[in-house]
Amino acid sequence: MKIINLTQHAALPEQGCIEPEMKEAVKGFLTFGSLPAPNEILWRAEMLAQTAAEEGAEAAMIGGAPYLMSALENALKSRGIKPLYAFSERVSAETVQPDGTVLKTNVFRHVGFVEV
C-alpha cells in the first residue's frame, strides 16, 4: 500500500511512507499563523488531499492541528484515500551517570497505524 506522509515531520523508515514531492507546500498547508476561518480549514484539507491523490497514494499518514484533522479525513475519504494516524510506543531507559545522577531517555517506536 502506498502511504504518503501528510505531516510536518519526516517519516520513520519503519513507517514505510513516501514523502510528498511538494513537502514544503504540505508543511505550509499544515501551519496556521492565525485563527483560521472554517472555509480556510476546508480549503487546506482539500489541497492536502489533492496532493495525496496526485501522487497516487492509497493511504495518508496524517497529524497536526486537531481542528484540521476531521476535514482532512473527509477530504481524503472522498478521494478513496485511507486516513491513518501513527501509533507509537514510548520506551524509557534510565542510565546512572559516573557522577551518580540518572539520565532518563525516551524513545518512541512505531508500532502501527490506526485507520479512521
**Predicted confidence (pLDDT) per residue in 90-103, tens digit:** 999 999 999 999 99
Q: Are 86 and 113 in contact (CB under 8 A)?
A: yes
pLDDT of residue 88: 94
In a domain, residue 97? The reply is no
Q: What percent of the chain has pLDDT over 90?
A: 98
In a domain, residue 104? The reply is no
In a domain, residue 67? The reply is yes
- Which triple of cell numbers denotes residue 34? 492565525
Average pLDDT over residues 65-89: 98
Look at residue 24 and give its three-state secondary structure: helix
Q: Are strands 82-96 and 102-115 parallel, antiparallel or unpaired?
A: antiparallel
Q: What percent of the chain has pLDDT over 70?
A: 100
Domain count, the chain: 1
In a domain, residue 46? The reply is yes
Structural domain boundaries enclosing 32: 3-87
In a domain, residue 77? The reply is yes
In a domain, residue 109? The reply is no
Q: Which residues pair with 113 in a beta bridge?
A: 86
pLDDT of residue 108: 87
In a domain, residue 48? The reply is yes
In a domain, residue 92? The reply is no
